[in-house]
Structures are given as C-alpha cells and as structure tokens.
Amino acid sequence: MRGPLIRGNGWKWLLCAPALTVLLLAASGPLLIVLVYSFLSPGNMGGVVWEFSTEGWFRVFFRRDIFEPDLVTLNHAHLTVFWRSIWLSFQTTLICALLGFPTAWFIATRPPNTRTVWLFLITIPFWTNLLIRTFAIQEVIRNNGTINTVLLRLGVIDSPIQMMFTDFAVLLGMAYVFLPLMVLPLYAAMDKMDFRLVEAGYDLYASRLMVLWHVILPQVKPGFIAGSILVFIPAIGAYVTPRVLGGGRTMMLGNLIALQFGQGRNWPLGAALAMLMLIVVVGALIVYLRALGRMEGERRG
Amino acid sequence: MDATDKGEIHIAGVNKVFGQGASAFHALTGIDLTIATGEFFTLLGPSGCGKTTLLRVIAGFEQPTSGSLRINGAEMAGLGPNRRPVNTVFQSYALFPHMTVAQNIGFGLKMLGKSRSEIEATTSDMLRLVRMEALAERRPSEISGGQQQRVALARALAPRPRVLLLDEPLSALDLKLRKEMQSELKRLQTETGITFVFVTHDQEEALTMSDRIAVMSAGRILQLGAPTDIYNAPVNRFVADFIGETNFLVLPVAQTGGAVARLTLPGGNCAEARLPEGMTPVTGTTVTAVIRPEQAAIVAPETGDLTARVESAVFFGTDTHLHLTLADGQPFVLRRQNRPDQQPPEPGAMLGLSLASGALRVLED
C-alpha cells in the first residue's frame, strides 16, 4: 500500500524546502556554530582562534591556579550559578503553578462572555516591554521603594528590608513575568475539561479536596505539563530579570554566558556554558516527562 | 411509624427560581411528591419542564429556593451531593476518562473509605451485574456507548445508594440498544430493590418502565399516577396530548347526569362520555372530548356511532393509521391493527366507526 504512495509523492517533499532551509539556517545553524566554538581557543580581544581545545569545557567545571596552571580545583563560582539557576527556575515553576491554578480556575468558571475579559487582562503585561516590567518590580521592592516606604511610615520596620539583589527579588520578578505562561495552558486544559465530571465526583461521595485530587488534577495535567515547560525553560536562561533585580551578586546562567561573550572575552567558555544549559534543559525535560509517565503507570496499575 | 416514614423521598412545597427580579425563571413551582421505597418512578415532560432540575434538587446539585426535601426520613437541606444516599446516572455518563472501567466503578466506594478487598469484591459483583467483566481494564474511550451506559449504571449502583437517579440515560442510544437497556434497567431495579427516579421525555419509555409517572410541564406536576391511569384518564389537554396519540373532538353537550354526559356526535348520534371530577357542563354548550386512536372500531357505514371519510392511510408495520374526516369536518385518527387478509381502505371511502364504551372522556378546559 505504502510503496506506490511514497513513489508517487517522491518529489513533493521538496515543496517544504524553503521552510526546511530556514529551520536549518535559523535554528540548527547557530546551535552548530556554538557547538563548534566551544571546542576552539579564545582570541585575545574576544572571538575565537581556529585551534582545537577542550579548555572551554574544562573551565566550565574546573579552574586553574594563576601561578600553578597544573593546580586544578572545582570551579565553585560556576557550579553555584548552575545550581542557583536550576533551583530558582524550579521554584519559579512551582510558584507559577500554585498561583496559576486558582487563577486559571477562576477564569474557566466565569460565564463565557466575561472569560475573554479576564484572559485579556492576563495577557496585558505581555504588551509591555520586559525591561519596563522588571524596573517596575524594582521600584516596588528597592530600599526606598513602595513597600519599604509604606512599612517605614507605618513604623512596622526601623530600617528598610533589603530585597533588591537577593534570590527573593529574582524569584519575584520571574514568577511575575512567567505567570501568564502557566495560566494560559492551564486555562486551555480547564476549558476543555468536562465539568460534569466534577459533579459526578461529588455525587460519588468525594469531598472537595478529593474531587480536586482525583478528578480535576488528572484532567488538567496536560496544562500543567505545558505550563511547566513554558515557564521552566525561559526561566533557566533568564537574563534581564536576574540582571536588573539580582545585580552582580545573584547571577544566573544567562548572565554568566553573556559575561563570557562580553567582558570575559572567553567565547569558547561561553559557548560551552550555553551548550551545557541546553543539555540541562533537555535532561530536566526527560526526567520530568519520565516521572509523569511513571505516575501514570502507577495510576493504571 | 407515621406516614412520612414509609416513603423514600418526601418533597414538600419545593420551589426553584433561577435569577432574580424580572428575569427570574421559575424552574419548579410547588412540587409535592412522595416516592415509595423500591419504586420505579418517572418524571416525564418535554425539555425545559423542570424534570431535570427536580432531579438535581434531589441529588443535591441544586438547592431549592424554598420547600423541604427528605430522603429516608432525613432532611437534606444544606447537604452536598457527597453526603446524600443518592447516586446519579448522568445523561452524558460522565465517566472519568483517566480511570479504567473497574476504577470508575470502585470510585464511590473508595471515597467512602471502604477497604481494598471490599472495593474489589463489589466492583467484580457490579461488573457481573452489568455483564462487563471482560472489559474491566479498558478506558471509557475504548468501549461503546451502550457499554459506557452500563458502566455508568454500575458506578452509580456500586455504593448501594438508597435512591438511584437517572437523567435521560437512554437518550444517546440507538433504538434497538435503548429497548435492550430498558429491560436491563427494569431487571436491575427488581434485583437490587433500589428506588429508581428516572427522567425522560420519551412517553413510551415512561409507560413501559414505570410504576408511577409524574407528568411535568412548566415547572409543575400536572398529573401523578400509574401509567394506565395517565394513559386512560389524562387530566387535561397537555397530558392527553403528550402521552400517546389522541383525538380531540369539540362536541355539544346533549344531557348531563352524575359522572357522565351525553354528547352529540357529528352526524347526530349521541355517546356517553365520562366527566372529570367536579365538572358539570351546561347542556347546549360545547366541551372538548378525547378518544385514543385505537379505541374506535371500523363497522359498516351508517351502522356505527360516527360516519367518516378516509383521507389517507399510513402503514406502520403492526398497524395502520387512518386519517379520517368526520361529518362536520373535524379530523379523526384511527389506528387499526394490520392483518394479512385486510386491505387498508382507499382514500375517499366512507366508513362507520363504533366507539369503545368508556373510551370517550371530557377534558377540563
């Protein structure tokens, strides 16, 4: 059956050639360049020298003593940044899920004609430049910003609370920026959900919590998966938010990579870091999806 | 034991109003109803008559605006669906798509905190009851509509509710499957002894399955009684029209006396018609009388109560519907059982009709 069909359409795939070319050049091309750069030597004024070297990858994890090049120690600075990026992104995803679920539920349970308005309100922040939104957060949490001023005036605190340039600031900023990315897929999943199943759950003696756990959550799981991926991936590579709210002290992977391509003048190291980030994200995704698959298996069993 | 303890469900003065002010919609008005233990009770009416709302009030999905509802003697006000000894078979079945057939059936028991062994035992009992043992590990999306229907039934019966509510459960099935499920439902009800409250808009379904029927329209119960009572003695025009087929004849009153009146039929003959209780029409006025299409027989012209001209004949398999015109122009439908040696009358032929005694009834206006 399939033979003649394929033969008959043998050349038709060529119609996809423009799209394939763009994909190849725009997506795989730069990635390939980065991969190649990570195995070259750094140039003195930035850029790369065409000379094979694993020094870039080596320096991701280790550092050499300035005076004794053979004295190798773990590069704690890089590992800290790695760990912080993963941990902050994980927390951001969790916060977005916890805040996003009730928000999406609220929207999905409104009458259909008002739902559009709520969705519209959720998407409004997307219309504003990310930088401006981040500076707005800064305005709220800086030492002489809104929160501290109000608390000082009320006499709740004597000296301003240091919120800027902490992990908290980065977390707050990222949760704020990425929340819509969790709400929208969750809403889409809830919109498709059959609310009569909720009634069926209540009818069969389930309490509200049990209905949430046994009926609603399994139904909106695809929304959670999509939302988590949409939040976690950009969070781990976030640049603007940690730069503005975290300063130099709470650097994340994105900032570290940018630093290597800028002041650091070590492009191979930057390229190796970028490749590693890709590996971390793909790895995290595989672990996440596997875990979900296992949960599903247990449910079935 | 006082009288109220004998019934399973007691509904007294229940009203349900959706919305407020000018846009308020009265879904239920003054519902009084007692459903006996082990009864197959049907709420029958056209869509929008409030039958599903009444079912949802019993289930606990809607709280009545006023009135009281008691199940097995206990007041249900303020109790959610999860705290009532009632289970529902939903029109859409509402099976949990992420669970297997067996998990669906066991869900209610699991939520009641039953032990794993008890859940397994009851689930396999239920699977046997609805003949679904072979498909226990399938997902709802992997079985047919009729099978889903049976799983929904088993799921609702598994926790042994005192009352089973069925919201038009057969409406999505094709005719043959529906007939099968009708007898299946009746069998389950007899075997389990659970009180069934069945909602349908299909009068035939209601007549064949129910012990008692409540005919509803516009949020009220119009008539409550056994299927034969409702079919033979409809209280008003709506019930007469909704249940089965009926001929409505406008006839002058010739004479009244007690529970019957003599009406003048088209063509001049007189016939006795039963009167509804408390109605004494004035001689000379006209009343509306009803007669079912199968309660008149064909006789030789000029020998029966009525003379009619055949307009058309429609073949229905078991019987033929003859569309007739009476002497004064009123239409009359006659249903005659088919026999192989009989030919249907040709259009234009004149027939005599003899009315079965007691078949003609006067309706209240």
What ipTM was reported for this prediction? 0.81
CB B298, CB B352: distance < 8 Å: yes
Task: Give B285's DSSP letter.
Answer: S
CA–CA separation, A30 vs A35, rounded Å? 9
CB of B15 closer than 8 Å to CB of B64 = yes
Lowest mean pLDDT among A52-61, A262-271, A284-293, B153-162: A284-293
* Residue pair B12/B68 in contact by the 8 Å Cβ criterion: yes
Closest CA to A141 of A169, A166, A167, A179: A169
pLDDT at residue A8, as a whole number: 59
- Which residues face B361 on adjacent strands? B274, B290
The pLDDT, as a whole number, for residue A294 is: 75
How does pLDDT run along chain B (365 residues), one tens digit per residue? 344 445 689 999 999 999 888 888 999 999 999 999 999 999 999 988 999 999 999 999 999 999 999 998 899 988 999 999 999 999 989 999 999 999 999 999 999 999 999 999 999 999 998 888 999 999 999 999 889 999 999 999 999 999 999 999 888 788 888 888 888 888 889 888 899 999 999 988 999 999 999 999 999 999 999 999 999 888 888 999 898 889 999 999 988 877 888 898 888 888 888 888 878 888 888 889 999 999 988 888 878 888 889 999 888 888 889 999 998 889 999 998 888 887 888 888 888 888 888 888 888 86
Q: Are A205 and B112 in contact (CB under 8 A)?
A: yes
Q: What is d(CA B69, CA B10) in angstroms, rounded to the nearest whole number?
A: 6
What is the SS3 assignment for A195?
Answer: coil
pLDDT-derived band at A2, boundaries 50, 70, 90: very low
Residue A90 to residue A77: CA distance in whole angstroms: 20
Report the alpha-carbon distance of residue A167 to residue A85 in Å, rounded.
10
| Euclidean distance between CA atoms B256 and B262, whole angstroms | 6
Of B90, B92, B159, the CB nearest to A205: B159
The neighbour count for residue B347, using CB atoms within 10 Å, is: 12
Q: What is the pLDDT of residue B116?
A: 94
CB contact at 8 A, A247 and A165: yes
Is residue B309 in some structural domain?
yes
Q: How many helices (H) and strands (E) does chain A have?
A: 15, 4
CA distance B318 to B324: 19
Q: Using CA atoms, how far apart are residues A217 and B236, in angstroms rounded to an integer?
A: 51
So where are chain A's domains? 85-274
Nearest-Cα distance to chain A for B35, in Å, is: 20
Q: Do A196 and B92 touch (CB under 8 A)?
A: yes
Asked if A204 reaches chain B (Cβ–Cβ under 8 Å), the answer is yes
Q: What is the pLDDT of residue B218?
A: 92
Taking CA–CA distances from B62, the nearest residue in chain A reads: A199
Beta carbons within 8 Å of B179's beta carbon, 6+ residues apart? none
Domain count, chain B: 1
Measured from the Cβ of residue A230, the count of other Cβ atoms closer than 10 Å reads 18
Task: Read off the pLDDT band of A297 (50, 70, 90).
Answer: low
- Under CATH, what is the fold of the domain A85-274? MetI-like fold (1.10.3720)
Give the model's pLDDT for residue A118: 93
Cβ of residue A298 closer than 8 Å to a chain B Cβ: no
Residues A204, B80: C-beta atoms closer than 8 Å: no
What is the average pLDDT across A50-64? 90
Give the domain range for residue B348: 246-362
Q: Report the distance separating Cα A240 and Cα B203, nearest Å.
A: 69
Residue B2 has a pLDDT of: 41
* A199 touches B: beta carbon within 8 Å: yes
Q: CATH number of the domain that B345 lies in?
A: 2.40.50.140
Give B83's contacts in chain A (Cβ within 8 Å).
Answer: 205
Contacts of B301 (CB under 8 A, 6+ apart): B307, B350, B351, B352
Burial class from Cβ neighbours inside 10 Å (0-12, 13-18, 19+) for residue B270 reads middle
Give me the torsion for CA of A165, A167, A168, A170, rounded to 10°.
80
Res B245: pLDDT = 87
Q: Is A77 in contact with A157 (CB distance < 8 Å)?
A: no
Quick one: tokens of B356?
Answer: 């079965």
| φ and ψ at residue B78, rounded to 5 degrees | 80, -5
**Chain B nearest C-alpha distance from A91 (Å):** 28
Q: Span A126-152, mean pLDDT? A: 91
Which structure tokens are listed for A227? 């939302």
- Please tell me if residue B183 touches chain A, with a CB cutoff of 8 Å: no
Looking at residue A172, its pLDDT comes to 94
Chain B CB within 8 Å of residue A295 CB: no
